[in-house]
Structure 1
Amino acid sequence: MKATKIFTMILLSLLVFSGCDRQEEVGKDQSFVYYLNLDGTGLEKRAYEYTEKSTLKRAQEALEAMDRPEEGEKVRSLLSEGVKVKKVTFSKGVAGVHFNGAFTGLTKLSETLLLGGMTYTLTQFPEIEGVQVYIDDSELADADGQARGVLHKEDFIENIGASIHTTETAKIALYYGNQTGDKLVKRMKSVRYNSNSSIEKLVVEKLIKGTKTKEETSPLASDVIVLGVTVKDGICYLNLSESFMSTQGKTSPEVTIYSLVNSIIDTSESVQKVQISINGESDVKYKENISLSKPFSKNRDIIEE
């Protein structure tokens, strides 16, 4: 990874998965729910038998269980301080959880524990790849006002005992469209990010946020959702929502594809190719003429000199 590592304790964004005897009793193949520990500083895992069968109903059942620990359990509700779930949706691998306005009053630690415990609980179901969080009907944003996007379990730490987050600074390569949208222009950017999330995912999220510079065009629509990013054997497997298929403003289809491919490959030392899929399917064509069935290598010819 092309990054200068700066390890720092960030106590307020600490995600602790408490090491207790009861947690160890949850078997490998048992379903579970995460709760808050008694002093509110960490999470505890408990076995739980789900009765609902559909994915949406199971997600609703899980969130209800998080709010109501069984009598006698030495744990607290994960939904503390008046936070309530108003609505749960499920579509294309993503569970949408709508909280009431009390969510905004959570401390950073309480928010991180809630998001982490909820994400780990819901993504135990194979059909749920990530969790999208809303406050009322507005998408959850970070401290800079940027949408948090879909949360995945890789965004959090699961460890026995106390763990610390680390942050890293990195220089990432972002390829945007030029003014006419027929070539790519390269921009280097210094970023700080959570080391427990992949640099490849960060690159894609930055491309989705777009550019505000008049000399450049944003190749991706802001409603594209990153459903998953994994790296194996030199290939980055990038799973995007179906909204990617309708993405195309001023940029050509080739510019859109290679903005992703070139940006990921130039940033990550471990990636030589990028395989793009839509809702887990790669046997599709983007804009009817670019097949996504095989991994893409970097395209230097499309870069504006």
Structure 2
Amino acid sequence: MKNKTHENRISIRLLPAAVLVLLAAVFLLSGCGRHRNEIQPESISYSLYFLNSSMDGLEPRPYTPDVSDADTEGLILEFMAQIKQAPQEKDLNPLLPEDCKILDYSLDNGALTLNCSSAYSSMESSRELLTRAGIVRTFLQIDGIDCVQITIEGSSLKNASGSEVGFMTNNSFVENAGKTINSYKSVTMTLYFADETGTMLKQETRTVYYSTNEPLERAVIEELIKGPEQDGDYAVLPATTDILSVLTQDNVCYVNFDSSVSNSVLNLKAELPFYAIVNSLADTCETRKVQFTIDGKSDILYRNTVDLSEPFSRNADLIENNSDDPASVSGQSLLSG
């Protein structure tokens, strides 16, 4: 009897320990399972930009910051320091000249202003444009920064024509996707968008930096696809429009769209998108005629109305308030064909 009681006492004492071990094992297993299934936030990929050996192009290189993606101020300061650093590759050059510094910065509602020393002005225009593009692309990678402005000792940066550059985004630098960034040129484009009725064209002027990797004519059409910037102007091409190719020969521009252009739901007069392109190319690139194709075919009656088999010429009659249009006054307005 005594032994039996002792055995029971041992069992009672051991049971809590066994339960604790079992619970600990369950906890560890559940904890490991939770760790395996936990969705980790994706880290952002960053690049630093450098000038190539011939100083006529930009070269991106992967970069891992020391601070977290959420540390906006830390990323700004780190990128400011890295822009000045000499790259590890001998055939690359830093964006800023050795004697140029970013003195300070300010960030206001997503608008970043970088204030540079006076040495920034000593750069040749070709290098300055590339440096500007590299700086803008660098800082726009930071979450919370929507546009970038460069000032010199507190004064606005001006381009070669003397106009203030102002705030820039990635859209300020047009380039052909898939090609290495080469050199940029500044061009003032005369673009045409729809009025509120969808029957007339309204003129809009904007200055764009485009890559010389692509023809200017393509850059013009890409700006039309981006849409208008002025109030009261409306898009003439869907944002999903895909340009297959743009080729110019003997002042005739050959534009080939994919079939998505036929699926436009924009409430426009059928021929308006085509004349928006033609007039924009004529005024910006001095293009005389434009031949349109869709998936390489021109024997198409767009919306059962617009014949694409013949080239289009500039049409000033569709321009709102065209009495001030020089082509209209000189009698150069032509219909398609």
TM-score by length of 2: 0.45
The answer to which structure, 1 or 2, has the higher relative contact order (CA under 8 A, 6+ apart) is: 1
